[in-house]
Structure 1
Amino acid sequence: MEKTLSPSMHTRLRFLRAFAWCAACSVALVGVAALSGWVFGIGFLKSVVPGWVTMMVNTACTLIAAGLALGVGLPTAPSHARLLLKQLLAGLVTLVGLLTLMEYISGVNLGIDQLLMTDDSTTKLANHPGRMAPATAVCAVASGVSLLLLGLRPRLSQAFALVTLLTALVALVGYVFDVGTLRTVGAYTSMAIHTVTSFMLLSLGIMAAQPLAGFIRVLVSDTAGGTVARSMLASIPVVVFSTGVLLLFGEAQGLYDNRFTLALLATLSMVFLTHVIVRISTRLHRVDLSREQAQRELQALNAMLEHRVVERTQELEVANASLVTEIAERKRAEDDIRRLSFTDELTGLHNRRSFFLLAEQGLKAARRNNLASLLFFIDLDGLKRTNDTFGHEAGDLVITAAAQVLKAGFRDTDVVARIGGDEFVVLAIGAGELPEVISARVQALVDELNRSGRCRYPLSLSIGVISCQPQELRPLDELLAKADALMYANKQQRHGRVER
């Protein structure tokens, strides 16, 4: 989840983790220092200032266990052994606090107060030597439960840590303003000053160790609430405490009485709260202005993007239409190339290549279907003389006229092709007519064309034809050669000499 956080949030999270480590170490060291004071008889380690409340041995051990538990549980994914150690230490803290509270409530001495070391200090409460204060026991229970829930139920863990913080904060206020009732419960001992600060630091460390839960998540966020919270929480405690201390100092110096102190405190509180409200309002106003500006920029960007999309769509439509046209033209060109590769350009008949492909397929089909075929070899007489006498345009007209005659004389299913300058071939599969009948029909069409005058030059055809039976397996080249020979014989018979 942290991979999606902003760089500023990553910086705050690193700071909170470092703070949690420092808090764990500091709390444990305070406990070690107080315990050393008991072991070696060093007074200032036990009470900080002579005459102040002494931290008890059980309290020092509780702080050591709590600091270690926080430090052990700090890794994001602690091992099973670390998690077990953390739970044992937190359970010990909770147990000590609960047993102490039971002693206060029931009035029974369970023998835990001086279990580790005899209290030889000059305490005013000799009936409870070595016993931690009730407020300290409450902090121990709340901190222990908070540590037990650390990493398991972050919100609930922070809630118990907040109980510890508020309890210790009340005692701290009692020390700062010298109000004994805020740090003492009834006739029982009050919390030592280093016990108060240690539990406050411990509770803050527990909350910092779980920065993505509860209120701490808001505090580290980049939202308006997070910005305001970071600003206000950093200044309010300092200002309030400073104001109270200054007013208390002035009263102690006789500069004014307690009524004036109260009036001045109320006035300063109103001024400060007004300043806080104005500051919060200003920050939220800036956030709203930034959000509105961002929305306007986003709307402008969306409009620009929509305009670009429309322009791009139009360009694509034009390009697509051009592409469609280009594809159609290319298809037509390919069709023309394909047609030209299989069609005689002058007559529109099949060319030599096309004839051989279709004839081979046709003869195979005829053999499969047991059909007889007729193969005609037709030569245009006198084409060379026409070209020499009248020009090649005249020769082309004669060739075209011959092609028209052959188209008319044969069926649409017959393969009619021009395979040379003046040579035509026709494959008629399953004709159903005698070759003499077909040849006569073609000759009649030639005579009719010559009589009609549609062709300015006389047309003459020599025809050779062979019959191909289904059982014959002779190759097409051999069949064409035989038909060519019969055509040549027909030409000699009709003209008495060879004329190409």
Structure 2
Amino acid sequence: MSIADPLKLLSSRPDLRVIARLASLQMVSLALVALTAGTVLCAWLVPAVATPLPHGWSLMKVNTALCLLLGTGSLALSRNRQTARHLMVSRVLAGALLVIAGSVLLEHLTGTASGFDILLAADATSSRPGRMALQTSVFFLLLGLTLLFVRSRKSPISNMADVLTLAMVVLTLVVLSGYCFGAARLFGESSDTRTSPHTLVCMALLVFVKIGRRAESGHFSVLLGIGIGSRIARSVLPFALLLPFLMVSGSAYTTRQGWLSASYAAALSASVISVALFGLVILMAGRINELERDLRDMSLTDDLTGILNRRGFNLLGEQAVLQARRDQSPLTVLFFDLDGLKQVNDSFGHEAGSQFLVDVATLLRNTFRGSDIVARIGGDEFAVVVHDGGAKAKVAMARMDESAAAMNRNGSRGYPISYSVGEASRELAEDESFEQLVSRADAMMYEQKQSKRRHGRQRGTVGTIGV
């Protein structure tokens, strides 16, 4: 496996917080559908229940309510970590849903009445007793098919489940468009055989739950990821779906009320949509920049100490050298190596060793200016790019030595702060690369460390800069 493979897996990993919120919303959605469909089904079976219901409840036919309950039950039983028995019952309910929806669709195609529609309850007031709308039957047929593949993670079955789910989304939006824009044929054949508003709401809720389930695998999983694209998709998707409906509906309403002519309403709607999309693009660009900045900071920062890592040091250091060369200004690289980190780890534990690293990083931050480049470039190696010559770098190091000595005199840590350091300065006339400066500072540091060992310097002391 290449390095890119685990990075790809990491970027496509689902966001657990989003999944937790989505699971709660799914349960609420299923409960609302079950409550609505259960109430209507009871009203058909027990006429006394229908008395307090609002006018138009009967537009949701008895088989429609039954199909909604079957779909809700199948979705509830197909959640992750369900037992094999639950999954089997879920598929049985999906099969029953397919039988009902398929029989209604067959009636619409052949123009015959099988009597299946009024098997549970009569519907004498309708021109087609008990028959749900064509759009509703197609929706349930698609839902039943997707429920058979709800846990599928392998292609091409998974791809087929995603395509069917997308078809459910399109069908629901078409029915919604029919209601919004007065296109009656888009949501039914007649006033008493149509997809009712409360049926449409239940369809939308089931589509939401179904997309959430497919997002656990397949192409819809992009909506749940932790990557930049997933975050942007979750932010933009509601606007992308609702904005056209809101604008066109507003235009149609102003035309019907006689406030504006059709041409003026269309012109204003186009202008508002353009401005809204422009604003959406600006917000997306800002969000992308923000996320990119966070990602860049994460990739250039050392997790333990909070200062730059090797990548950040090399990137900013090379820029600093180019700037110094252009401005003909001095530049100094300091290379640090901690003395005795292994002994601290062995004697006091790795937490103490980590604290040792943090202490040195704090010393470096407090010693050098904010414009200087401070980094941890290895396990026990630190480096600083100072925007000054070697003389001023030595003055800064003297301050750091004093601070380290004060920390050692305190004695609260149980181990001394000790390090070796080398220095390499870029003079005005030199044309040395950043890599060469770092290598020269590293060599000077190594010479100082060897000198301390030859002269028996104690580990707890800090020395002068190796030059």
The yes-or-no answer on 1:90 pairing with 2:94 is yes
- Which residue is 2:289 aligned to? 285
Provide Cα deviations, 1:334-360, integer angstroms capped at 9, x if missing partner. xxxxxxxxxxxxxxxxxxxxxxxxxxx
TM-align CA RMSD: 3.6
- Which residue is 1:375 aligned to? none
- Which residue is 1:262 aligned to? 266
- Which residue is 1:333 aligned to? none
* Greater Cα radius of gyration, structure 1 or 2: 1
Provide Cα deviations, 1:429-448, integer angstroms capped at 9, x if missing partner. xxxxxxxxxxxxxxxxxxxx
Identity of aligned residues (%): 23
Provide Cα deviations, 1:172-227, integer angstroms capped at 9, x if missing partner. 22223322132135899321111111111112112213433234422222222112
Q: Residues 33 and 45 of structure 1 are in contact (CA less than 8 Å); yes or no, is this contact kept in structure 2?
A: no
CA separation in 1, counterparts of 2:177 and 2:58?
15
CA separation in 2, counterparts of 1:312 and 1:4?
40
- TM-score, normalised by the number of residues in structure 1: 0.56
Counterpart of 1:11 (choices 17, 30, 33) is 17
- Which residue is 1:305 aligned to? 377
Provide Cα deviations, 1:113-143, integer angstroms capped at 9, x if missing partner. 11111112x22xx2x3111111011100100
Q: 1:187 to 1:26 in 2, by over 3 A?
A: closer
Q: How many residues align?
A: 316
Counterpart of 2:171 (choices 167, 170, 174) is 167
State how 1:106-255 maps to structure 2 within 5 Å. 106-120=110-124, 122-123=125-126, 126=127, 128-153=128-153, 155-185=159-189, 189-255=193-259
Residue segments in structure 2 that go unaligned for 5+ positions in a row? 1-5, 301-307, 315-374, 383-441, 455-467
CA separation in 2, counterparts of 1:106 and 1:251?
40
CA separation in 1, counterparts of 2:210 and 2:447?
61
Q: Which amino acid aligns with 1:184?
A: G
Q: Which amino acid aligns with 1:171?
A: V
Q: Residues 28 and 66 of structure 1 are in contact (CA less than 8 Å); yes or no, is this contact kept in structure 2?
A: no
Select between 180-189 and 224-233 the one with higher mean Cα deviation.
180-189
CA separation in 2, counterparts of 1:151 and 1:232?
27
Provide Cα deviations, 1:355-414, integer angstroms capped at 9, x if missing partner. xxxxxxxxxxxxxxxxxxxxxxxxxxxxxxxxxxxxxxxxxxxxxxxxxxxxxxxxxxxx
- Which residue is 2:66 aligned to? 61
SS in 2 for 1:109: coil
Select between 53-62 and 313-322 the one with higher mean Cα deviation.
313-322
- TM-score, normalised by the number of residues in structure 2: 0.59
Q: Which amino acid aligns with 1:253?
A: Q
Q: Residues 28 and 65 of structure 1 are in contact (CA less than 8 Å); yes or no, is this contact kept in structure 2?
A: no
Q: Residues 142 and 160 of structure 1 are in contact (CA less than 8 Å); yes or no, is this contact kept in structure 2?
A: yes
CA separation in 2, counterparts of 1:290 and 1:109?
63
- Which residue is 1:70 aligned to? 75
CA separation in 2, counterparts of 1:130 and 1:168?
21
Q: 1:300 to 1:267 in 2, by over 3 A?
A: closer
1:34 Cα deviation after fit: 1.1
SS in 1 for 2:269: helix
